[in-house]
Amino acid sequence: MQKIGKQTIKFDCPPSIVSTASTVGPKESNGPLSRYFDTCLEDEFWGESTWEKAESKIIRETVNYAISKSGLPQEKIDFCFAGDLLNQCISSSFGLRDLNIPFFGVFGACSTFVESLILASTFLSGNACENVICATSSHFCSAEKQFRFPLELGNQRPPTSQWTVTGAGSAILSKSGTGPFITHATVRKNCRYGN
């Protein structure tokens, strides 16, 4: 690996994205990109009793689908880099614990998936492993409870309010493969506006 400038890394042996998978909730399923998602849910619970359990199921099934699409046996996957929006990355921790793969919990809010890709690419490029999983999830209902207004309060949402996605994405990265490849990563700086 090489550092370019102040915050970019060039991977001399770029990791290959071997497979990807995605799952989305009902709102996202009704959007213009619905045909590009692997799984579209009809309701927010997906057969579970809570939104948090639903989110754990969403990330678990998405990761399992990415593994299946990759053709790699689960035992050949060295590490899992994953996270979500809840405390202690609880959805991904509980959802992926049965994989029995060494787990790095990543919490970067909107940047969690990209941070996972960067960390995994660094491990792969540094010869620490052969294959890794990257994943992230969020759930509108559990995120509202955690960060904004719990849905149980019945607050009126203004039309301009943001909406956290209900869904998950996963990718299998490998030292070998035909691409696409992750060739560079630019890491953000944590600074105040104007600095």
How are beta strands 167-174 and 2-4 bridged, if at all?
Answer: unpaired
Look up the pTM and report it: 0.89
Mean pLDDT of the chain: 90
Which domain covers residue 80, as residue numbers?
2-150+162-180
Q: Does residue 190 lie within any of the structural domains?
A: no
Instruction: Give the Cα separation of 170 and 22 in Å (integer).
Output: 6
Q: Stretch 122-138: mean pLDDT, rounded?
A: 94
Buried b (16+ CB within 10 A) or exposed e, 130-160: bbbbbbbbbbbbbbbbeeeeeeeeeeeeeee
Q: Could you tell me which residue, 137 or 154, shows the higher pLDDT? A: 137
Domain count, the chain: 1
CATH number of the domain encompassing residue 55: 3.40.47.40
Q: Does residue 31 lie within any of the structural domains?
A: yes
pLDDT at 195: 59
- Segment 162-177, tens digit of pLDDT: 788 899 999 999 999 8
